[in-house]
């Protein structure tokens, strides 16, 4: 890509050299950080961050119910640049910058940078996004939770290209980023299709077996209208018992995730969890136990533990009461019951989008009972098919990450003058 003819030292470490004809200015000379608070409740349209964009909040109920909160929000205008400067030390995905699409309000906890006259807010939105991708805001925050304020931000020196170059840069990046977003959207559609395919594979195998020529019989089970005619149905209370074992001194924490994996927490990640201070109510979990997350079962949090350890009381730890039970098969059954909305439907009148699928609720449910050999075969079939689908999904996710990194690098290089646009 084309470079500028001459460069000079910007005097800013993260920026390095910039085109020799560009200027440097303090952020405070181009942006205002003091904005009006919505005291009179004049504006009721509230915005929130959504992966690097500002989108309207969809509040449930009468907006007057939010008056006490919204009268403390900041009034924002089209072109204001919003930076989420909260909890910089807990940043898993760096997408803290967005440009206000229209008049509205936003929590005063965010930093509002209002452009002064003749400031191209589109150019500086891209610049701030580039700074965000380089994690530059992290070093500016203060306090235990590393919170960014306009006071820290306003001292920053920023590059100032000539106005016509700013316009050209924005035009170039708009086109490039738009095409990149189309590419990303297509990749995400492919992932959605594969995830739906995976769910169909599991559902068909778990509920209909592997023989396509088998005859079926009705069950009167809401989530399972029919099963192969030689299968049985039984209540879970006749199949499973709840374990309540004391923890061992060397037990590590086992977590039940929404993708169905039940494993030691350290095997997935160590941050982002609420740490318990008292483990006296925790329970020992053995490798091979069927584990159901009472609050998250509706979202798929059921599986077989791959490790010994200890788990929170919110987990129902189950073992078979009778022979002929493959825990891996019934983990798939429970995940299907969650994914198809059945578990959530049991509690829809109490709390929307949540449930409390306790063991005493689980044991009331009717479950399919294929012959044990067929349970094993179904589990093997699902494992093989899902592994292939997951491999494709992983490949697409890696491609998405590469595309996102390219986009971030492109924005950073263009707005800092490392690449000349024509």
What's the CATH number where 34 sits?
3.90.220.20
87 lies in the same domain as 223? no
Of 369, 394, 412, which marks where a domain is finished? Answer: 369
Domain-embedded: residue 193 = no
**138: closest CA among 84, 182, 215, 179?**
84
Place of tokens 């906890």: 109
Torsion, Cα of 363, 366, 367, 371 (10° steps): 110
Same domain, 150 and 238: no
Q: Partners of 31 in the beta sheet?
A: 115
Residues 125 and 249 in one domain: no
Last residue of some domain: 324, 351, 369?
A: 369
Please check whether residues 330 and 258 belong to one and the same domain.
yes
DSSP secondary structure letters along 204-220: HHHHH-S-TT--EEEEE
Residue 191 resides in a domain: no
**Structural domain includes residue 187:** no
Where are the alpha helices (H) located in 41-120, listed in sequence order? 67-70
Same domain, yes or no: 275 and 343: yes
In a shared domain, residues 121 and 243? no
Which pair of structure tokens corresponds to residue 388? 């292939």
Residues 103 and 251 in one domain: no
Q: What is the pLDDT of residue 352?
A: 46
Let me know if residue 247 belongs to a domain. Answer: yes
**How far apart (Å, rounded) are the C-alpha atoms in residues 72 and 201?**
50
The residue range of the domain holding 124 is 23-160
SS3 158: strand
- CA–CA distances in Å: residue 57 to residues 145, 197, 403: 25, 32, 29
Same domain, 147 and 261: no
- Whether residue 112 lies inside any domain: the answer is yes
Q: Are residues 215 and 364 in the same domain?
A: yes
Q: String of b and e for 379-394 (b: at least 16 CB within 10 Å)?
A: beebeeebeebeeebe
Q: How many CB atoms lie within 10 A of CB 83?
A: 21
The pLDDT of residue 144:
56
User: Across the strands, what pairs with 304?
Assistant: 290
Show the CA angle centred on residue 108, arms to residues 74 and 136, nearest 5°. Answer: 120
Report yes or no on 64 lying in a domain.
Answer: yes
Does residue 116 lie in a domain region?
Answer: yes
| Whether residue 361 sits in one domain with residue 266 | yes
Joined together, the tokens standing for residue 22 give 């560009």
Q: Per the structure block, which two tokens stand in for 334?
A: 């429970």
Count of helices and strands (H, E) across the chain:
9, 24
Among residues 142, 160, 178, the one where a domain terminates is 160
Domain total of the chain: 2
Contact of 206 with 289, CB cutoff 8 Å: no
User: Do residues 65 and 135 share a domain?
Assistant: yes
Please say whether the beta carbons of 153 and 88 come within 8 A. no
Burial class from Cβ neighbours inside 10 Å (0-12, 13-18, 19+) for residue 169 reads buried
- Does 355 reside within a domain? yes
Looking at the fold, whether 223 and 365 belong to one and the same domain comes out as yes
Q: What is the pLDDT of residue 355?
A: 67
Per-residue pLDDT of the chain (422 residues; tens, 9 = 90+): 789 999 999 999 999 999 999 999 999 999 999 889 988 888 888 998 887 888 888 876 676 777 888 899 999 999 999 998 887 766 655 688 999 999 999 999 899 999 998 899 999 999 999 998 888 887 776 655 567 889 889 999 999 999 999 999 999 999 999 999 999 999 999 999 999 999 999 999 999 999 999 999 999 999 999 999 999 999 999 999 999 999 998 999 999 999 999 999 989 875 555 666 678 899 999 999 999 999 999 999 999 999 999 999 999 999 999 999 999 999 999 999 999 999 988 874 444 445 689 999 999 999 999 999 999 999 999 999 999 999 999 999 999 999 999 999 999 999 999 999 97
**285 three-state secondary structure:** strand
> In this structure, is the dihedral angle defined by the CA atoms of residues 82, 85, 87 and 88, taken in order, positive or negative?
positive
Q: Where do we find the tokens 């820290």?
A: 152
Q: How many Å apart are CA 401 and CA 186, to the nearest integer?
A: 14
Place of tokens 């050999």: 373
Q: Rounded to the nearest 10 degrees, what angle do helices 121-133 and 163-208 cross at?
A: 50
Q: Rounded to whole angstroms, how far apart are CA atoms 267 and 270?
A: 8
């Amino acid at each position: 890509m084309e470079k500028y003819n001459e460069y000079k030292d910007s005097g800013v470490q993260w920026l390095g050299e910039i085109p020799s004809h560009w200027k440097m200015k303090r952020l405070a000379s181009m942006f205002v950080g003091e904005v009006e608070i919505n005291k009179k409740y004049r504006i009721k349209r509230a915005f929130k961050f959504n992966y690097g964009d500002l989108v309207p909040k969809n509040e449930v109920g009468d907006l007057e119910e939010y008056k006490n909160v919204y009268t403390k929000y900041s009034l924002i205008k089209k072109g204001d640049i919003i930076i989420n400067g909260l909890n910089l030390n807990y940043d898993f995905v760096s997408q803290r910058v967005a440009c206000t699409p229209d008049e509205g309000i936003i929590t005063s906890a965010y930093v509002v940078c209002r452009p002064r006259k003749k400031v191209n807010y589109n150019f500086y939105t891209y610049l701030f996004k580039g700074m965000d991708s380089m994690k530059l805001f992290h070093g500016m925050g203060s306090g235990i939770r590393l919170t960014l304020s306009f006071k820290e931000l306003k001292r920053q020196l920023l590059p100032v290209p000539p106005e016509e170059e700013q316009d050209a840069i924005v035009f170039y990046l708009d086109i490039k980023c738009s095409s990149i977003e189309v590419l990303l959207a297509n990749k995400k559609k492919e992932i959605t299709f594969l995830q739906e395919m995976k769910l169909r594979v599991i559902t068909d195998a778990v509920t209909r077996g592997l023989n396509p020529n088998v005859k079926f019989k009705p069950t009167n089970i809401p989530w399972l209208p029919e099963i192969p005619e030689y299968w049985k149905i039984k209540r879970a209370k006749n199949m499973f018992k709840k374990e309540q074992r004391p923890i061992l001194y060397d037990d590590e924490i086992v977590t039940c995730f929404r993708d169905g994996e039940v494993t030691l927490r350290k095997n997935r990640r160590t941050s982002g969890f609420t740490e318990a201070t008292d483990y006296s109510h925790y329970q020992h979990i053995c490798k091979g136990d069927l584990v159901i997350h009472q609050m998250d079962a509706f979202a798929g949090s059921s599986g077989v533990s791959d490790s010994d350890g200890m788990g929170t009381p919110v987990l129902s730890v189950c073992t078979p009461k009778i022979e002929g039970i493959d825990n891996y098969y019934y983990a798939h059954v429970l995940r299907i019951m969650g994914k198809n909305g059945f578990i959530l439907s049991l509690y829809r009148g109490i709390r929307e989008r949540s449930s409390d699928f306790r063991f005493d609720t689980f044991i009331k449910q009717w479950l399919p009972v294929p012959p044990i050999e067929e349970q094993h075969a179904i589990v093997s079939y699902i494992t093989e098919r899902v592994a292939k689908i997951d491999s494709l999904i992983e490949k697409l996710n890696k491609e998405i990450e590469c595309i996102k990194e390219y986009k971030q690098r492109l924005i950073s290089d263009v707005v800092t003058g490392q690449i000349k646009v024509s």
